[in-house]
Amino acid sequence: MAADPGLLALPWNTPLAEWPQHHLVALPRGISRHVVRFIRNRGQVYALKEAAERFVVRENRLLHDLERLDVPSVESVGIVLDRVDAAGDPIDPILITRHLSFSLPYRAVFSRTLRPETVVRLVDALAALLVRLHLAGFFWGDCSLSNTLFRRDAGAFAAYLVDAETGDLHDELSPGQRSYDLDLAHTNIFGELMDLQAGGYLSEDLELLELADTVVERYQRLWAELTEPEEFDTGEMYRLEQRIQRLNDLGFDVAELDIHTDFDGRHIRIQPKVVDAGHHSRRLLRLTGLDVEENQARRLLNDLDAFRAATEQQYEDEEIVAHQWLTEVFEPVVQAVPAELRGKLEPAEVFHEVLEHRWYRSENAHRELPLVEAARSYVDTVLRSRPDEREALPRGDDTLSDLEPVRDDDTLTDLKPFRDGGS
């Protein structure tokens, strides 16, 4: 059972589908074969899933394993077993997970935009998540957009596993297991995109099979970069540094390399043995204490490096400069957002969008706008009209048909186009 004592007062002797409305929070949720509801307790939102005991116990264990392995997934708070109703008849157990703030199921994303680039970004994020799961030895067994939550990540998306009941954890996955998971992901994503197109969320001109193929192509490229061996001459040691730099650019640290030299000592073969995701987010956390998504961390670190150069502090201690940047640059932007608007986007995403907004406004004004001035402009002209995403308002309930299709002229105009395409 969860440590939060307030959960003890909930009506556990009532089937989840019959819980009184005053206990529930209306949040968008993905398609599920089980009854899923959201509740709020002492300011914290939880997701409750009612299922057979073997599924609940197993998924609880797997989610704890994924948390231990630092793989993006929802956090299991606990399980409720041995439930009985007022008549003494048994009721299925419940798995309690913590709601992932600022996250959206894919249907909620498509209820507010039609841009094809958004589809590519979602599929891209899902492919990257599948690679991370496979590197950790986790076989998903039901990879799909429906079983994933998405958080904005500096113009892209970060994907989180939300349903682990079909998964299994191994020391290492075989090529066949990885191929099966990837084939299933391709099939599921193609079907989900067809549902979106049939519901009026995607243009009829979009080639859905090509979009579904993207997950396979992205997965294979990333897996190859992270795991495949590379050979070069001993006079080309710079290629070792280049390989590590490419992995860092992808957001991975190389924790261990397998290096072999041939008999004549002229050729070297390298292969990454252990790679850890979160290269930029770990560096930013160490320097500033900010815990953000990987692309957000990359963007903030770039701004930190620019601040260091602009203030001519290249030879100053990095942590001292980072503290100065945090207090003089990042925090004033975050504080420029009124309290009532802080549920719109998380602070790191706001900072990223303010940087984009300043770039466009500076181009139009033919002068460099001060960052705080750009932040105030962004709040007034963009942020105020955006929906809250800390706990996103629902656009329907359990089925796609409950969501009103967004027509071309309904696309939100306050979502400024990013220079790389936007989302």
pLDDT tens, residue by residue, 104-134: 888 877 765 556 777 888 888 999 999 999 9
Query: What pLDDT is stored for residue 130 in this prediction?
Result: 96
Q: What burial class does residue 203 get, using C-beta atoms within 10 Å of its C-beta: 0-12 exposed, 13-18 middle, 19+ buried?
A: exposed
- The amino acid occupying position 392 is A
pLDDT at 423: 33
- The model carries a pTM of 0.78
Domains of the chain: 5-98 (3.30.200), 103-227 (1.10.510.10), 230-277 (no CATH), 280-392 (no CATH)
Q: Which residues of the chain have pLDDT under 50?
A: 1-2, 393-423
pLDDT of residue 408: 30
The dihedral through the CA atoms of 80, 82, 85, 91 has a sign that is: positive
The C-alpha atoms of residue 304 and residue 211 are separated, in whole angstroms, by 35
What is the pLDDT at residue 105? 86
With contact defined as beta carbons under 8 Å apart, do 299 and 282 qualify?
no
Residue type at 408?
D
Q: What is the pLDDT of residues 148-175, one digit of tens each?
A: 999 988 888 899 999 998 999 999 999 9
Instruction: Indicate the pairing of strand 148-153 with strand 103-105.
Output: antiparallel
Q: What angle do CA 346, 108, 60 make, to 5 degrees?
A: 75
- Pick the closest to residue 17 from 96, 92, 107, 99 (CA basis): 92
The pLDDT value recorded for residue 413 is: 26
Check residue 394 and give its pLDDT: 43
Q: What percent of the chain shows pLDDT beyond 90?
A: 47
Length of the chain: 423
Cα radius of gyration rounded to whole Å, the chain: 23
Strands 90-91 and 138-139: unpaired
